[in-house]
Amino acid sequence: MIVAKRKPFDEIKEYIKDYKKVLVAGCGTCVAVCLAGGEKEVDILNTELDMARRLDNNPLETGTITIERQCDVEYLEGLDDVVKDYEAILSMACGVGIQFLAERFPGIPVYPAVDTTGMSANLAVGLYEERCRSCGECVLGLTGGICPVTMCAKGLYNGPCGGTNNGNCEIDDDQPCAWFKIYERLATQGRLDNILKIKEPVGWNDQIPRTLIQPGYMKPEKDA
Amino acid sequence: MSTEGNGFKSGSNLEKILTAGHFAFTGELGPPRGNAVEEVAEKAKHLKGMVDAVNITDNQTAMVRMASWAASLLIMQQGLEPNFQMVCRDRNRLAMQADILGATALGIKNMLCLSGDHQKFGDHPNAKGVFDIDSIQLIGMVKKMRDEGKFLGGAELDGSPKMFIGAAANPFADPFEWRVHRLAKKISAGVDFIQTQCIYNMDKFRKWVQQANDMGLTEKVYILAGVTPMKSVGMAKYMKAKVPGMDVPDEVIKRLQGAEKGKVAAEGIKMACEQIEEFKELKGVHGVHLMAIEWEHKVPEIAEQAKVLPRPEV
């Protein structure tokens, strides 16, 4: 899932310092599961802002709403009647949701209340580890199901480099070396021949904004 | 078009030394953290006549330094031959190819293809690491430019950038069993010579070279064994504990600790020279790469004591 972490409070407060009426908009899917921007986190931020602005003698009128998904037009419709009462929106969705919200309400400033930090696995409550960089050219079939693009600090396709340290990465003793793990898994499976062959330079597919149209589908006429 | 009429890949002094069957001896020079020509000249003067080529490091340990191609040119003006280092951390494939063209145009004939230390270690730890291609892919790219006269993208280039292509190998980083296969990958990518990580664990190194011999790899590539003399017990302990991929056995530290007061550095040099003597006889090793870090002025003494002088004229 997509994970995010809340921005520092002072940064959020600074964004909205000139507004008197602000809507805090949560998202009920990924960022809710990773405890960054769901209903509960919306309420907490709302309370913090309310208290801080009272202390500043600059009271803020806030509203809160959490919709199922800010990245989906179907759910955004529910906001149409709500946002018109506000001068600005603080979105607690991922970067996709924030942009989608800003696009739907182009007359109202939308500010991010979280930083989106990647696509991660849920290892324990509150603990998430990045596993995919959406490079667009998956090599997991070659590398034993361990992603070198994400988990190798240098993103090497022909690792490991010379910095492997007792199975860990040179950058941190707590960070396992992706290529050490790849080697071990492929050795266990008898598939080391996968990485004996040189992986030639890849064409980076993430250097321009990507649009995906699945086979059999097409862009709606109105946007074409 | 892979070679000039003379049959050499680049015709560098280092290539000629190795192809003539001499035991090569290379040195290293870190460019300054500024643009002081004098600093390069001062370090270079100690290396003149002592080594066959001098590695010019490329933003080593991710600290910004004078460009490796520029420092390479500066030592060429002093009559030394550079081994131009290039890391994958700081340049994408466009910049790398541009620098290779520029370097060869200005007379640089050796280069060392490296991944590069992670930017986290340096003075700009939050810089964007490029790693557009990795060190093995870089070797292949230089070879394609040299032997096929083509850019990585496939278009023909004008001229023929002649480089004697080097790379690093670290026999000590784990998994040990994979290290010789990674060497084999570098050879199949087109590497001409290898310089290894600093060697302290001789048993492990002998085992690695034996594996390379058994796989026939040492007939396909020249291997220069990496040697760094220990200056002090503190340095040995630091390298053991803090430098990733470095293997410093306790015996090395004990021997330094056993040296008389004021003679630890001399003991370190003696140990390095004993290693060099063994490498001269070790099948599969074709030379030594001496990394006397910030100790360039000691190189003449080490070269003398290691009995690698005078350097052959080829």
How high is the pLDDT of residue A96? Answer: 97
Interface test with B, best of A152, A154, A191 (most B CBs within 10 A): A154
Is residue B2's pLDDT more than 80?
no
Please give, rounded to a whole number of angstroms, the shortest distance from the CA of B9 to a CA of chain A. 23
Please give, rounded to a whole number of angstroms, the shortest distance from the CA of A133 to a CA of chain B. 15
The partner residue sitting opposite A165, judged by closest CB among B120, B141, B245, is B245
Which residue ranges does chain A devote to CATH 3.40.50.2300?
2-118
Of all residues in chain B, the percent with pLDDT exceeding 70 is 98
The partner residue sitting opposite B118, judged by closest CB among A167, A171, A192, is A171
**Cβ contact, residue pair A160, B181, below 8 Å:** no
The partner residue sitting opposite A201, judged by closest CB among B152, B188, B245, is B152
Is residue A86's pLDDT more than 90?
yes
Interface test with B, best of A139, A158, A170, A193 (most B CBs within 10 A): A158
Please give, rounded to a whole number of angstroms, the shortest distance from the CA of B199 to a CA of chain A. 13
Chain A residues with CB under 8 Å of a chain B CB are: 153-167, 170-171, 180, 183-184, 192, 196, 198-201, 204
Please give, rounded to a whole number of angstroms, the shortest distance from the CA of A204 to a CA of chain B. 8
Q: Provide mean pLDDT across the span A128-149.
A: 97
pLDDT tens-digit map of B213-239: 999 999 999 999 999 999 999 999 999
Q: How confident is the model at residue B3 (pLDDT cuts 50, 70, 90)?
A: very low
Of all residues in chain A, the percent with pLDDT exceeding 70 is 99
Decide: helix, strand or coil at residue A103: helix
How high is the pLDDT of residue A221? Answer: 82
How high is the pLDDT of residue B58? Answer: 98
Decide: helix, strand or coil at residue A10: helix
Measured CA to CA, the distance from residue A32 to residue A25 in angstroms comes to 12
In order of their start, the domains of chain B are 13-305 (3.20.20.220)
Name every chain B residue with its beta carbon within 8 A of the beta carbon of A193. none
Measured CA to CA, the distance from residue B19 to residue B11 in angstroms comes to 10
Helix (H) / strand (E) element for A23: namely strand A21-27
The partner residue sitting opposite B245, judged by closest CB among A153, A162, A196, is A162
Name every chain A residue with its beta carbon within 8 A of the beta carbon of B133. 201
Is residue B128's pLDDT more than 60?
yes
pLDDT tens-digit map of A92-135: 999 999 999 999 999 999 999 999 999 999 999 999 999 999 99
Q: How confident is the model at residue B5 (pLDDT cuts 50, 70, 90)?
A: low
Name every chain B residue with its beta carbon within 8 A of the beta carbon of A159. 134
Q: How confident is the model at residue B160 (pLDDT cuts 50, 70, 90)?
A: confident
Name every chain A residue with its beta carbon within 8 A of the beta carbon of B121. 170-171
**Cβ contact, residue pair A198, B135, below 8 Å:** no
**CATH for the stretch A2-118:** 3.40.50.2300
Name every chain B residue with its beta carbon within 8 A of the beta carbon of A196. 181, 184-185
Distances (CA, A) of B231 to A147, B189, B251, B265: 41, 36, 16, 5
Q: Provide mean pLDDT across the span B39-58.
A: 97
Name every chain A residue with its beta carbon within 8 A of the beta carbon of B134. 154, 156-159
pLDDT tens-digit map of B272-304: 999 999 999 999 999 999 999 889 999 999 999
Query: What chain A residue is nearest to B125 in terms of C-alpha separation?
Result: A171
The partner residue sitting opposite B137, judged by closest CB among A153, A158, A164, is A158
Distances (CA, A) of A208 to A63, A135, A136, A211, B239: 37, 12, 12, 9, 43
Is residue B1's pLDDT more than 50?
no
How high is the pLDDT of residue B283? Answer: 98
pLDDT tens-digit map of B161-201: 999 999 999 999 999 999 999 999 999 999 999 999 999 99
Q: Provide mean pLDDT across the span B6-23.
A: 96
Distances (CA, A) of A193 to A187, B30, B170: 9, 38, 21
Decide: helix, strand or coil at residue A207: coil
Query: What chain B residue is nearest to A187 in terms of C-alpha separation?
Result: B178
Q: How confident is the model at residue A220 (pLDDT cuts 50, 70, 90)?
A: confident
Name every chain A residue with its beta carbon within 8 A of the beta carbon of B144. none
